Amino acid sequence: MSTPQQAFDELKKLSKELTLVRSIDAVLGWERETYMPPKGEALRADQSAYLSGLHHRLFTQPRFGDLLAEVEASELMNDPDVAVNVREWRHAYDRAVKVPTELVEETTHTAVMAHSAWVEARKKIDFSVFQPHLAKLIDLTRRKAEYIGYEENIYDALLDEYEPGETTANVARLFRNLRAGLVPLVQAIAESPVRPRTEVVHREYAVDRQRVFAEAASAALGFDYLGGRLDTVTHPFASRFGPGDVRITTRWNPRFFNEAFFGVLHESGHGLYEQNLPAEHFGTPLGESVSLGIHESQSRLWENFVGRGRAFWRHFFPRARQIFPRVLDDVTMDEFYFAVNAVEPSFIRVEADEVTYNLHIMLRFEIEQAIIAGELDVADIPGAWNEMFEGFFGIKVPDDSQGCLQDVHWSFAGFGYFSTYALGNLYAAQFYARAKEDVPDLEERIALGDFAPLLHWLSEHIYSQGMRYRSRQLVERVTGQAPSHEPLMAYLHAKFGELYQL
Ligand code: ZN
């Protein structure tokens, strides 16, 4: 017989072990994208599959469930720290044991084939190459959702994986309101006679200088290069190994300033969150980030609300002129600020500006719900996509590589993932508005290159909390308001109304 305290200590030990397995896999994953030679692919796949299997076996052992039940029935639950860890362990454990191992393995196997098919379909611009694989993944995903269970909508079970506790109904309501505000704003911007000089960001920006500038900017925000590094990859990401080691990545484009610079700020935002999680809780949920939506709120906050802000460029534009002499000689700060904030309806989500970005997400959210609910046939996805796109953006999708084949997510059965991008934008607007209220000279400090007040505010209210609150609860506690489209719309109207003289 053990005491509840012993059971809790054993859970913590197991949780630490699980976290270390994930962390080792993260090192391998980062290395695969950065330095691994091509012939290492098969070995790396075996190494990662071994670690995933190990993680799954450790986690789903009945012992984990027994220990959880013992602590749950005890008075230890009165300790709020214990209660948070147990709540999150239970959530993850239930999701892991409810889905049969055969279904997990079949999905993994199908996703490997589906990914190659997606790459080929995109290259050939032929949806039919991907279609049977996608149909199979959708079927497997539906079965997974049924095993996990849901109250109202089958899509809830999928959303819950990326944004725990959030529901389809909530997200649908938020998106409906947001869309009602965005569509006329996009329209008004399109009709504005005022246009930015976008060519100034498409000049020759030497990559070695871009690196110096981007690293200096991210260090100024507070990204700690003694506890992290920046490397070059094809598809940028941020990865946390654990306290003291957070990796960020980017890709460099010598003829387009925005790509790497704002990419680095974006990944630095993810990195700042990870670097400022409470290290003493590493290995338990209290030492982890809340959700993908909250994570994205941090990348977006630093990339857009700070990095694409006027205050930021007051400080950094004179430095940009020093680092890129001649390139920016004939450009004013205002012109540069406008150019990095140009709004242009475009087909590709990852290239979208702050105003149109969320429309790309809403379209995916609608289509995913319809396919998971069985209301839309897989064969009809391209048609549905193109029709909806024209309705949202007023432009016709030229082909499926610029339409429904552009994103990787469906090829790994990542249904439910996309919403977190738009939720992140909404949360970011709410957090930033609140930070400005709490720190009245926030933007004056930013204009002086001093980002410490903002970083401290975010650390105190968000980073240091780990998973103490679910996303909706965290937003409410920090901002005094439930997740809402209003702060984002107010921000967009103020910023772009001024730029485009609406
Ligand atoms: Zn991100």
Cα–Cα distance for residue pair 180/167, rounded to 1 Å: 20
Closest-CA residue to 218 (of 376, 17, 451): 451
Once rounded to an integer, what is the mean pLDDT over residues 286-301?
98
Whether 410 contacts 137, CB under 8 Å: yes
Could you read off the pLDDT of 184-242 as tens digits, one per residue? 999 999 999 999 999 999 999 999 999 999 999 999 999 999 999 999 998 899 999 99
| CA 175 to centroid of ligand 1, rounded, Å | 19
pLDDT at 59: 95
Could you read off the pLDDT of 246-287 as tens digits, one per residue? 999 999 999 999 999 999 999 999 999 999 999 999 999 999
- Residues with Cβ within 8 Å of 173's Cβ and at least 6 positions away in sequence, in order, are none
Once rounded to an integer, what is the mean pLDDT over residues 460-483?
98
pLDDT at 1: 61
| Confidence grade of residue 70 (pLDDT, cut at 50, 70, 90) | very high
Cα–Cα distance for residue pair 446/450, rounded to 1 Å: 5
Q: What is the DSSP letter of 242?
A: E
- Residues with Cβ within 8 Å of 10's Cβ and at least 6 positions away in sequence, in order, are 2, 67
| CA 267 to centroid of ligand 1, rounded, Å | 6
From the number of C-beta atoms within 10 Å of its C-beta (0-12, 13-18, 19+), residue 314 rates as middle
| Confidence grade of residue 112 (pLDDT, cut at 50, 70, 90) | confident
Could you read off the pLDDT of 385-441 as tens digits, one per residue? 999 999 999 899 999 999 999 999 999 999 999 999 999 999 999 999 999 999 999
Topology (CATH) of 168-499: Neurolysin; domain 3 (1.10.1370)
Domain spans of the chain, in order of start: 4-149, 168-499
| CA 89 to centroid of ligand 1, rounded, Å | 25
Q: At what angle do helices 452-461 and 257-275 cross, to 10 degrees?
A: 50
Q: What mean pLDDT, rounded, does the chain reach?
A: 96
Report CA dihedral (472, 478, 481, 487) to the nearest 10 degrees: -100
Distances (CA, A) of 500 to 196, 339, 495: 9, 11, 9
- Residues with Cβ within 8 Å of 442's Cβ and at least 6 positions away in sequence, in order, are 435, 436, 453, 454
| CA 295 to centroid of ligand 1, rounded, Å | 7
Strand 228-232 versus strand 245-250 pairing type: parallel
| CA 461 to centroid of ligand 1, rounded, Å | 20
| Confidence grade of residue 108 (pLDDT, cut at 50, 70, 90) | confident
CB atoms within 10 A of CB 306: 22
In 3-state terms the chain splits into helix, strand, coil percentages (rounded to 5) of 70, 5, 25
Once rounded to an integer, what is the mean pLDDT over residues 309-315?
98
Tokens linked to 458: 């975010």
Cα–Cα distance for residue pair 227/275, rounded to 1 Å: 8
Cα–Cα distance for residue pair 213/234, rounded to 1 Å: 20
Cα–Cα distance for residue pair 286/456, rounded to 1 Å: 19
| CA 5 to centroid of ligand 1, rounded, Å | 38
**Within its chain, how far is the Cα of 301 from the centroid?**
12
| Confidence grade of residue 109 (pLDDT, cut at 50, 70, 90) | confident
Per the residue annotation, which of 70, 88, 267, 288 is the catalytic one? 267
pLDDT at 438: 98
Distances (CA, A) of 157 to 151, 161, 299: 9, 7, 26
pLDDT at 482: 97
| Confidence grade of residue 12 (pLDDT, cut at 50, 70, 90) | very high
DSSP 55-99: HHHHHHSHHHHHHHHHHHTSGGGGSHHHHHHHHHHHHHHHHHHHS
How many degrees, rounded to 5, is the angle at CA 464 between CA 484 and CA 94? 75
267 catalytically annotated: yes
Most confident of 58-62, 108-112, 233-237, 475-479: 475-479
| CA 422 to centroid of ligand 1, rounded, Å | 11
Radius of gyration of the chain (CA): 23
| CA 236 to centroid of ligand 1, rounded, Å | 9
Whether 355 contacts 492, CB under 8 Å: yes
Distances (CA, A) of 253 to 177, 234, 261: 36, 11, 10
Cα–Cα distance for residue pair 4/76, rounded to 1 Å: 7
